[in-house]
Structure 1
Amino acid sequence: MHEKGFRVSKVVLLYNRDRERSYRIFERLRSSLLSNEIEVVEDHREAEVAVVIGGDGTVLRAFHQVGSLPILGVKDGTFGTLLEFDSTQLDIIPEILREGEFWLERALTLEIIDSKLSLIALNEFLVRSGKLGKSSRLGLAIDDAPLGECICDGIIVATPTGSYAYSLAAGGPVLDPRCDNIAISYVAPWPPSLVPAVRSIVVPSSSVVEVWSTSPFLYVVADGLSPVRLRPPLRISRSRREAVFIRKSPDPTEFYKRMVKRMIPKTLTGILHYEKLRPAPAKSLNLDGADQ
């Protein structure tokens, strides 16, 4: 799954333009790369590596821009589970690139091929009703074997990379990056007492996932980007295109270390912040009028 890196001489730098801090990291890293004789180009087609500064959303947008160009992520976001480095490690990045002391991790992507266009997703496809804010009856089939229909807000079809994003929030499983699988989950199926027999399902990446509806069209959202309106049925399959990430180590357990480091502390911080802000319970009064 991991391949040894190569000596890098040209990179393109991409950053979250909505964050001033990302720009400061960009300037600092650009200066460091140039002083280490690594050329910074503006056109990604001339680069050997894309260095992306921001959060997971920035990485997803960068992937749709640079395609299969290896991505080195520098975290400047909330979770940043896709990004290998953080802002305290800027000084080591030029040397790692110059000497080729890194590993390449390839990640599968998904595609929907319509008569008019082709859509690619690194994280997931969300298929939902054409009416915003409305549930709809969606049908699901795996390799032409129907699983039935369900009233829900949508269906998520996720890669291992996307399994710990929107899919996880919808109750889907986390897939190890080494898995060659696709995770499928319903979003808010209704009524709760009659949820589908299989709330989430994991299938081989070679499977073709079909979603149909009685609606004349459905909205498809790839990686949280702008929705695209398509006519059902939709057929989702593995794409020949891959995403490539730069990792410091080929050790597969680094994925879990990154998950624990980036996600769990943020979750606990949110809980503690809520407890701090939550108002104290109202005092009750006894029959004598004294506070209890």
Structure 2
Amino acid sequence: MPEFTTIGLIVRRNSDSAVYSLKRLIRFLQDQGKAFVLEQETADHLPDKSLQKGASCTASLEDLGSYCDLVIVVGGDGSMLSGARALVNSGVPLLGVNRGRLGFLTDITPDDIEQKVAEVLAGQYVAEQRFLLDTEVRRRGQLISAGDALNDVVLHPGELIRMLEFELYVDDHFVTSQRSDGMIVSTPTGSTAYALSGGGPILHPRLDAIGLVPMNPHTLSSRPMVVPGDSHIKILVGEYNNASPQVTCDGQLHFRIHPGDEVVIRKKPKQLTLIHPLNHNFYERCRSKLGWGGHLLD
């Protein structure tokens, strides 16, 4: 196991509870003799500026990976998603402390910060690879916009509640034309997020697969599909749509598109490393987060 010597810290802004957990985390790292680097916007928004004094430096979110060998995110899944997109190319692993709501990606509870982070620093952890999706919007062959997504890429009508018409292709094979509210293209990581609420299947994080989940299709025969992870997915937006559709990556990056545009989605070559405590269990996480039943004899 590699030794983590310099720790990057990202905290969910406008959250008193997250800042409190950050204080505990900084105190613990200092006691352990570990250097830490504060993400720049985290440092700028800290109400207690004394927290910056022990930091080696501050760095932008995009540059944080060049200073650190581990980044800890204190916040919710949204904070982890933005951190993952910014840091995936650096190869630095991410560890999450949950100060959000659901917390599928942030493993450590606030009460366990010192114990669990100590275990990770001692090499007692599980490293897991997750892939992201590369997304491009092309208009008459020209690249208009691009982004990454750890959870999902969603085609939707935008501000107006109107059905979209589009064609779906996988590996240049025509699959179907559809009238619906849009399409969710999901990684296994994102299968427990928006895709799940749209009726999509839960995919184990180790699967090399992509979920295609239609949103309120105008036909009962349209169902979610799972395709190989190396698939080349293309969505051709119909020429006669009256809506102003958008493509959204992880619910955080938004691109307005025009009728006739192509949305091209494929697996990103560079993968993200997530760090989990040794007691991490995907099925237990599903039970606790999604309210599944426990043992019948308990």
**Structure 2-normalised TM-score?**
0.80
Alignment-mate amino acid for residue 263 of structure 1? L
1:66 is aligned, of 87, 95, 99, to 87
Once the two structures are superposed, the pairs formed by residues 96-111 of structure 1 within 5 Å of their partners are 96-111=119-134
1:33 corresponds to 2:36: no
Q: Determine the C-alpha separation between the residues in 2 that align with 1:128 and 1:108.
A: 23
Cα separation, 1, equivalents of 2:165 and 2:23: 50
* TM-superposed deviation, 1:218: 4.1
- Cα distance, 1:102 vs structure 2: 1.5
Q: Take 2:257 and 2:202, find their aligned partners in 1: how far apart are those partners?
A: 28
Give the CA deviation at 1:243.
1.7
What amino acid maps onto 1:212 in structure 2? Answer: L
C-alpha offsets along residues 119-151 of structure 1, whole Å, 9 cap, x if unaligned?
111000001236632221121111122122111
Q: Please tell me the root mean square deviation across aligned C-alpha atoms, in Å.
A: 2.1
Letter in 1 for 2:271: E
Contact 1:104 1:244 in 2 (8 A): yes
Show CA shifts across 1:220-264 (max 9, x none): 100011311245221111111212100123x8x811111212231
The residue type equivalent to 1:58 in the other structure is: S
2:232 to 202, 208, 214: 208
Amino acid at match of 2:13: R
CA deviations over 1:50-97 (Å, ceiling 9, x no partner): 101111111112212322421101111111011121112111244224
Decide whether aligned partners of structure 1 residues 226 and 133 sit closer, same or farther in structure 2, where only a CA change above 3 A counts.
farther
SS at match of 1:104: strand
1:163 to 166, 191, 207: 191
Distance 2:123 2:238 in 1: 53
CA distance in structure 1 between the aligned counterparts of 2:144 and 2:29, rounded to whole angstroms = 42
1:264 maps to amino acid? G
Q: How does 1:113-262 map to 2 (within 5 A)?
A: 113-114=136-137, 115-129=143-157, 132-190=160-218, 194-195=219-220, 197-215=221-239, 218-231=245-258, 232-249=261-278, 254-262=281-289
2:17 aligned residue:
21
Range with greater deviation from structure 2 (73-82 or 113-122) = 113-122
Q: Distance in 2 between matches of 1:98 and 1:226?
A: 33
- What SS does the corresponding residue of 1:95 show, helix, strand or coil? helix
Give the secondary structure class of the aligned counterpart of 1:177: coil
1:116, distance to aligned residue in structure 2 (A): 4.2
The answer as to 2:107 corresponding to 1:84 is yes
Q: Do the aligned partners of 1:81 and 1:263 also contact (CA within 8 Å) in 2? A: no
Relative to structure 1, the CA distance from residue 131 to residue 80 in structure 2 (aligned partners, 3 Å threshold; closer, same or farther) is closer
Once the two structures are TM-superposed, the CA of residue 117 in structure 1 deviates from its matched residue by 4.0
CA contact (8 A) 2:186 2:212 kept: yes
Contact 2:214-2:222 within 8 A present in 1 as well: no
| Range that drifts further, 217-226 or 104-113 | 217-226
Alignment-derived partner of residue 264 in structure 1: 291
Contact 1:38/1:98 (8 A) holds in 2: no
Q: Which runs of 5+ in 2 are unaligned?
A: 39-58, 138-142, 294-298
Conserved? CA contact 2:187–2:211, under 8 Å:
yes
User: What secondary structure does 2:103 align onto?
Assistant: coil
Pair 1:130–1:86, CA change in 2 (3 A): closer
Instruction: Give the letter aligned to residue 209 of structure 2.
Output: N
Compute the displacement of 1:103 (Å): 2.1
Residues 117/78 of structure 1: CA separation in 2 closer, same or farther (3 Å cut): same
Q: Which amino acid aligns with 2:132?
A: T
Whether contact under 8 Å (1:7, 1:97) holds in the other structure is no
Distance 1:240 1:53 in 2: 27
- What corresponds to 1:289 in structure 2? none
Aligned residues: 256
Q: 1:243 to 1:132 in 2, by over 3 A?
A: farther
Shift of 1:177: 1.0
Preserved CA contact (<8 Å) 1:74 1:85: yes
